Amino acid sequence: MTTISEQILSEAAGEPVSAGDIVRAPVDFTFGNDISLPPAIEEFQRFDDADVFDGNSVGVFLDHLYPAHTEHAAELHESCRAFAEAHDCILRAEQEHAVVAEEGFVGPGDVMVASDSHTCTAGALGAFATGVGSTDLAFILATGWAWLRVPETTHVEFTGTPGEWVEAKDLTLAAIGELGVDGAIYHALEFSGEAVRSLSMDERFTLTNMAIEAGAKTGIVEPDEVTEAYAREHYGEEFETYVSGEDATFANEVTVDCDGLEPQVAVPSSPANNVDVSDVQAEGIEIDQAVVGSCTNGRASDLRRAAEILEGRSVADGVRLIVTPATERIQSRSLDEGWTETFLDAGAVMENPGCGACFGQRTGILGPDEVAVSTTNRNFTGRMGDPSSEVYLASPSVAAASAVAGRIVHPEEVA
């Protein structure tokens, strides 16, 4: 038996392939967003009589800069809308990585190659999902396939039982801390273990979302009955799941022990700088902003956890709390469940579905020397605004609790 990635790409290529092979892989679904698609459109138009390979397999997502905050952003959106209309593509103004799974655009065993680095999120479904640049996207739009190098696989096993306050964000930060930001370059990170099997699909998407932060080509969760139930509901009845065999060859094997694991915080300025939340709490790090949302933690279970912390409480004076549901469906559920009312009563700002404050270009921008705790995926220097600002990465529970306390704390301090 081979690894999950090797099996999926063998099926796509129509012949057995192994790590290191270069394959011509048909793409089941692709997409671009309001930043990555416009330059791809320019390249795409260089093809004679250009037309997309299949409009039903192409997504156009307005999520990074939506709604437009500048004339330039409005121009980008117009370019995307015109392209979607001209080629009968799928058009959505929602967070791309959340909506592709929610609406069943990708499923187990599929190959998805799209123009955003966090495309690896869909690997939680047991798909091979990876990001490329805009030029590669243009080629895929025209041809429906991509050249791919079959990646080696790093196997990450999560053992033990996570405690009450430990979430998927904590597991992925612990794994990245173990691997480092360059510990899995062009590898597939394959996640398994008893702690992973206990995770919901929402949580599994968080786990695979940050595979790229260790340099990985993709992240994949070993499919099980949870995967299959989600796929049947959102994708359909026909799909193929793949599991690595006992004799599969892994380039590296890492074990993360979840017994006794605390909630984790990635301190500035790297996702690999993970420490226990108690260590940060001891330093008394005061915050100016807290963020719950993004493609990492903007799903229903993330909002629910934050709302449970905030119920009957208020955001501390001087702190801005921004909550961004990933999709319209999640936004509606937040209303129905009363989470939105809880957020607003606590003093939070609710945003439209999308990427939100993650990358410091449209909303939630940090000023000089400001500090944020955020459920997003990157905390590089200047990621969320001024180069002197700082971003601490954490789970929704830690972010919400810190918003109430006015400093980074363990959720149990305010719960």
Positive or negative: CA dihedral 22, 25, 29, 32: positive
C-alpha span between 351 and 348 (Å, rounded): 10
Q: Which residues of the chain have pLDDT under 50?
A: none
Radius of gyration of the chain (CA): 20
Question: Is-cis flag, bond preceding 67, omega within 30?
Answer: yes
Residue 48's pLDDT is what?
Answer: 85
Round to whole Å and give the CA distance between 229 and 184: 30
Give the span between the Cα atoms of 115 and 64, in whole angstroms.
Answer: 13
Q: Which strands make up the sheet holding 218-221, listed edge to edge?
A: 218-221, 187-192, 152-159, 252-257
Dump strand ranges (E) for 142-251: 145-149, 152-159, 187-192, 218-221
Q: For all residues of the chain together, what is the average pLDDT?
A: 97
Give the pLDDT of residue 319.
98
Pairing relation of β-strands 320-323 and 187-192?
unpaired
pLDDT given for residue 287 in this prediction: 98
pTM reported for the whole predicted model: 0.97
Domains in the chain with CATH codes: 4-240+251-257 (3.30.499.10), 266-413 (3.30.499.10)
- Report the alpha-carbon distance of residue 191 to residue 157 in Å, rounded: 6
Closest residue by Cα to residue 218 from 117, 297, 326: 117
pLDDT at 206: 98
Estimate the crossing angle of helix 396-405 against helix 300-310, to 10 degrees: 30
d(CA 134, CA 51): 16
In whole angstroms, how far apart are CA 144 and each of 39, 54, 339, 361, 383? Answer: 18, 8, 41, 31, 33
- CA–CA dist 49, 398 (Å, integer): 52
